[in-house]
Structure 1
């Protein structure tokens, strides 16, 4: 468990060093290549093949994680854990949107396009800020708390399984003609693996917020989201900042009329709100680190 805490601190200190990943492929990139190969070669648009691909990926990560944990010492566990966590890089990317938005709306749109998948060309400044804050909340769950949770629960095998399933969901877990059946297993398993972490993330954000919404309000607003899990961190972040999140947005030229989360909040989110969200993420991360250290001392 001390290795988990050390991995958190190493990730927070170094993030994703550009000099390293310019020379070597990031493990998540290698996972993506394997999933892309399977999608290109094995996707016959059936549930059975999709389930088989996910099963092989999960088994491979369990074996790899077990082999890495068998190496004497804790440094392999610390380094792999730090590589797979994303606290520093997440905050850096979100804060870059605030820095860009200070320069111009165009710069803000360009920066937020790096972290969201929606259309950015028609966004005004509040829409850019909301998108950055939503990405901060969701990715704190997916990129920090969920991998950390499975790292604590099941060591490197748990961490690697989570990362490969989450990567697969982001690549093939869509309800399109090509992926509705082939990506079904990846999407459903990702939902299962994120169920507890998403709610833990909401609890962490609520714990460190100056303004704490009632848990019943967070639960209600989380249910407005199209995902069974992604709505939880957003529903906690919105009242913590006093802003409304989600709402209508454009994907591939089509306006999707999503409901507002914390609809009574301000809709004029700005740079200060992005900075406040980043500060919340660091405070929530500190509480998570303290919890890991406490567990290490007990066990």
Structure 2
């Protein structure tokens, strides 16, 4: 019941600006803590060990916090924390904003998509903007919705908070740069492990609500992605919408020649394709809610 109520609350309210403009969002607090750890411990000759100890201690602290919250009588806090740490409504809003902006002007669309992707956006054409938004929709559906639901179902608030602190750490220090390749190694590997099942589950859910291709095609193309997990929801979205995703893109002024997923799919993407991806987000959320209800009834 907690999971159902949390999903519904998140879908209804998302992240209200009136609240988070006044108090810091838990994800922001996590980011500040990880940033402090990065400044404090990412130095010396044993960066990988320090990074391992840092993420281990953060996970222990997150699990302990979740356990303490669960000791509070009733379920209100559990529902509230779950809703806050889910991202269905905010994901839909951010992706839809790119589609709406693309209908106004390319400049507006570039500024909008820059808020949700880490690649270079200033020289993107309209199809590249749309492709970036749809890729973000697929990947963040896994990271921000299905994975948190999965880990809450498996281990309650402790599991959810361990996942969120790990995922946040990976997004901040998990990059293979000179500064973070050693210190962020443990966070990146743990994030890969924690997303192993949710990413494939997300792909299966997207496939179930689109059913344009056999799942074998998704299984074959998902490993083409540079990430061991993100390729699964992206491949499912690509085949589900009949479009090509991934492909070449620019980071820090350098073109990366990544292969296309579903290379025979439509490449001249537009705002209508973003709209279709948003529909998939809601259909996948709805199917997930039905599955959670079914499991609750059975149990």
Same fold (TM over 0.5): yes
Answer yes or no: is the 8 Å Cα contact 2:212–2:242 preserved in 1: no
Could you tell me which residue of structure 2 aligns to residue 62 of structure 1? 63
Could you tell me which residue of structure 1 aligns to residue 119 of structure 2? 118
Give the deviation of 1:35 after TM superposition: 0.4
Could you tell me which residue of structure 1 aligns to residue 25 of structure 2? 26
Deviation per CA, 1:156-191: give whole Å up to 9, x if none.
Answer: 000000000000000000111211111011000000
- Aligned residue for 2:224, secondary structure, equals coil
Deviation per CA, 1:214-236: give whole Å up to 9, x if none.
Answer: 11210111111011000000000
Return the alpha-carbon distance in structure 1 between the equivalents of residues 280 and 191 of structure 2. Answer: 25
Could you tell me which residue of structure 2 aligns to residue 286 of structure 1? 286
Return the alpha-carbon distance in structure 2 between the equivalents of residues 188 and 15 of structure 1. Answer: 29
Return the alpha-carbon distance in structure 2 between the equivalents of residues 176 and 135 of structure 1. Answer: 22
Return the alpha-carbon distance in structure 1 between the equivalents of residues 152 and 163 of structure 2. Answer: 9
- CA RMSD of the aligned region, Å? 0.7
Give the deviation of 1:212 after TM superposition: 2.5
Return the alpha-carbon distance in structure 1 between the equivalents of residues 90 and 180 of structure 2. Answer: 29
Give the deviation of 1:122 after TM superposition: 1.1
After the TM superposition, list the runs of 4 or more consecutive aligned residues in structure 1 that deviate by more than 6 angstroms.
none
Could you tell me which residue of structure 2 aligns to residue 216 of structure 1? 216
Return the alpha-carbon distance in structure 1 between the equivalents of residues 49 and 250 of structure 2. Answer: 33
Could you tell me which residue of structure 1 aligns to residue 229 of structure 2? 229
Give the deviation of 1:293 after TM superposition: 1.2
Could you tell me which residue of structure 1 aligns to residue 34 of structure 2? 35
Could you tell me which residue of structure 2 aligns to residue 249 of structure 1? 249
- Aligned residue for 1:255, secondary structure, equals strand
Answer yes or no: is the 8 Å Cα contact 2:235–2:261 preserved in 1: yes
More divergent stretch after superposition (212-221 vs 87-96)? 212-221
Give the deviation of 1:298 after TM superposition: 1.9
Could you tell me which residue of structure 1 aligns to residue 153 of structure 2? 152
TM-score of the superposition, structure 1-length normalised?
Answer: 0.98
Return the alpha-carbon distance in structure 1 between the equivalents of residues 66 and 298 of structure 2. Answer: 24
> Where does the alignment leave 5 or more consecutive residues of structure 1 unmatched?
none
Return the alpha-carbon distance in structure 1 between the equivalents of residues 162 and 86 of structure 2. Answer: 13
- What is the aligned length? 297
- 1:1-299, aligned counterparts within 5 Å? 2-44=1-43, 46-209=47-210, 211-299=211-299
